[in-house]
Amino acid sequence: MSLILVRRGFVAVISFSFLFFSSFGAFAADGANDAQAGGAMGNNVEVKLVNYKLKSLDAKNLADFIHTVSSDREYHLAELKKKYPDKPSKIKDNPEMLAYDKILKDAYFLARKVGDGEKGQEEKEQFVAMQRLHYGILNELGCILPGSDIKNIAKMGKNLLFGPFILRVPRPANPAIPIDKHAEEESDNLYDRKSGRRVSVTEIAGMSHLEVSRLQPGAENPWYCGRIGSIAFSEFEKENVAIIRSLGGKLGSFDVAFAKRIMFFDEIKEDATSPKIIVKDRYGNKWKMKWGDELHSDLVAVRLYLGIGARFSDMKYYSGPGETILVLSPAGSDNSAEPKTAAHLAEMLLKSKFKFHFDRHWLSPKTMLKDAQDVVLGHGIIDKVMADRESIPEKYVGAYFLKLKECQLALYHPGFKRLGGSALSSVGAEKDRFVRSSMVFNSWIKNWDVKDDNSRIGLLHNLTTGEYDKQVEFFSDLGLALGNTFAGGVINALEPSFVKMFPGSINFTFRPLFLPESWKSCSYSDARWMAIRIASLKRSDFEHILAESGWPVFVQKIATEKLIARRNQLVKAFNLRLDGLSEIVCNPNLTLTLNYRGTQDVPVRDGKICADSLMVRDFEAESHPEGLAHIKTRFQD
């Protein structure tokens, strides 16, 4: 095992020289980096590990793994005791400690099975899951080396320049013939959809590409559960609200709509690149309140992601003009980091790393309260009547509140213990059908920023056991989608065509910033499986999902037409008519002419949102300061 000490100051110097690329998170390795064993962060140096190699299942490897995880756990426990000497509950609920305990519990159980001679596919899959969870812990603790900056920039440049030649899947001359000798190249742990029986490699060898494309990941796959359509998000929400309520106390009556109505400022969160603050709801939960170019695209992508069968995602919502009241810090607070006026919060955000012009997002700024020095205070003040009516704590009586044109709200799920990024290039990802085929999904939605740091692994509270023992993995940041390299949600940059048929391959004309190694293993049957998932979405699914985006109806309409056109290309390229899926009639070059303010206005012409449309300009001024025709990037906002 090799250890590398990386001084924080040195990393900062390197980062500064690549400032432009760092705004896209370009330093995370291309699909990430392998780590081998435990490590920890000290005060002055970081212990970073390289070469996390997936161990095969045998008694020695399992024993070594248990020893490594036990040592890691003891070190982490000692660090937590130093940090929280008088707060045992902080240690008990620590996500890494819960994950270490789950790994060890599962590993000891597996050791007994291995000792009895059980080393079948199920046991091998369990060992892979443990190692992936371990990887997630190390990633969260900063123990995985991002790799060489120069190497990562070179990879990103190669991906951008030669995307169509990289994002491709082999195209068999006859998909109906047996796979034969290529069976070992297919994904592991595939199941027959009807019987639920695991299909062996020998059986796959005798099956055709078409037949293998209809096999499903296992029921315990941490990425995939099989839901389909626009109803998936509401089903997912219902399941997770039940989990949150099971935690008891105030959360026993948790309601999403009630929670979103009133938010209390907590802190400015300067991680990542999109402008955001952390707020709390009336139950005490933390939420991320976010603005900028990814506000709408992120919401659409999350719902599409769940709609094609993803198991888990963040609970994200749109809040339109005045729908969420942002309560500022109590009048009695003397902490300079707690803004008591709208002007103070605007100043803090402008001076933050975001350089964000928050005042452009205030609803009806001319109606806001001001003091004698013309300082903007807020839209109103919390009085006793409002506090009683809205269940606002008494300490906020006298505090100012704000109403915003729009924002995105993302819940910090109290029933989910979040760890670091999932391994997208190693530790079994290269043999997982969902991860491999995610190349097709991310190409379809034009998600430019797929990397470990934009995925997550964690433990979900289990209603049956009452413990945090349900391991899930998911793409956690899908905001840089439906747009271009610089901004998400640029519908004018979403082409209706993205599939090119080459001799011997099907290519996706998409140039992502990063290229997970697992994508290079994507087989024809993997890609076709994902194409079936996408093509299973109906027009009504797209319309439902876009209706929750917060975009005006005319933007929803053209986005729907373009996404359907791109879906149709998958139907044609993979001959999905054989699976009962046909193309949907659509018009991605749509022109919309509407009677607006006494004129025949054209908000959409030939598939493009028109910057000179009165309707578009009014929407941009009144409720969409990030833009609709021309999107303001995070550098301009």
36-55: per-residue pLDDT in tens? 344 444 333 334 444 688 99
Q: What mean pLDDT, rounded, does the chain reach?
A: 89
> Mean pLDDT lowest for which of 161-175, 184-198, 517-531?
161-175
Residue 263 and residue 325 in contact, taking contact as beta carbons nearer than 8 Å:
yes
Question: pLDDT at position 40, please?
Answer: 41
Question: pLDDT at position 152, please?
Answer: 65
Sequence length of the chain is 637
Residue 61 and residue 68 in contact, taking contact as beta carbons nearer than 8 Å:
no
| Tens-place pLDDT, residues 356-369 | 999 999 999 999 99
- Mean pLDDT across the stretch 408-418? 98
SS3 604: strand
Question: pLDDT at position 77, please?
Answer: 97
DSSP state of 183: G
Identify which of 172, 55, 135 has the alpha carbon closest to the alpha carbon of residue 423. 135
Residue 144 banded pLDDT, cuts 50, 70, 90 = low
Question: Cβ neighbours of residue 404 under 8 Å, at least 6 residues apart?
Answer: 319, 321, 322, 324, 326, 361, 362, 363
Residue 66 and residue 439 in contact, taking contact as beta carbons nearer than 8 Å:
no
- The larger pLDDT score, comparing residue 351 to residue 8, is at 351
Question: pLDDT at position 631, please?
Answer: 94
Question: pLDDT at position 35, please?
Answer: 36
Q: What residue spans define the domains of the chain? A: 3-147, 159-227+417-578, 241-411
Beta bridge partners of 317: 409
Lookup: tokens for 352: 């933050």
DSSP state of 224: B
Residue 28 banded pLDDT, cuts 50, 70, 90 = very low
Residue 467 banded pLDDT, cuts 50, 70, 90 = very high
DSSP state of 178: B
> Mean pLDDT lowest for which of 117-121, 223-227, 473-477?
117-121
Question: pLDDT at position 146, please?
Answer: 57
Q: Residue 59: how many CB atoms within 10 A of its CB?
A: 11
- Mean pLDDT across the stretch 306-313? 98
- The larger pLDDT score, comparing residue 27 to residue 620, is at 620
- Mean pLDDT across the stretch 245-255? 97
Helix residue spans in 473-596 (DSSP H): 524-535, 539-547, 553-573
Q: Would the pLDDT of 18 be above 70? A: no
Lookup: tokens for 329: 């810090």
Question: pLDDT at position 117, please?
Answer: 85
Residue 149 banded pLDDT, cuts 50, 70, 90 = low
Question: pLDDT at position 49, please?
Answer: 46
Give residue 574's identity as a one-letter amino acid code.
Answer: F
Question: Cβ neighbours of residue 547 under 8 Å, at least 6 residues apart?
Answer: 556
Question: pLDDT at position 30, please?
Answer: 33
Label residue 219 exposed, middle or buried (CB < 10 Å: 0-12, 13-18, 19+). Answer: exposed
Beta bridge partners of 403: 325
| Tens-place pLDDT, residues 179-204 | 999 999 999 999 999 999 999 999 99
Question: pLDDT at position 335, please?
Answer: 85
Residue 138 and residue 52 in contact, taking contact as beta carbons nearer than 8 Å:
yes
CATH of domain 159-227+417-578: 1.10.1070
Q: How far apart are CA 366 and CA 376, in angstroms?
A: 10
Q: How far apart are CA 485 and CA 493, in angstroms?
A: 10
> Mean pLDDT lowest for which of 157-166, 218-227, 322-331?
157-166
Residue 240 banded pLDDT, cuts 50, 70, 90 = very high
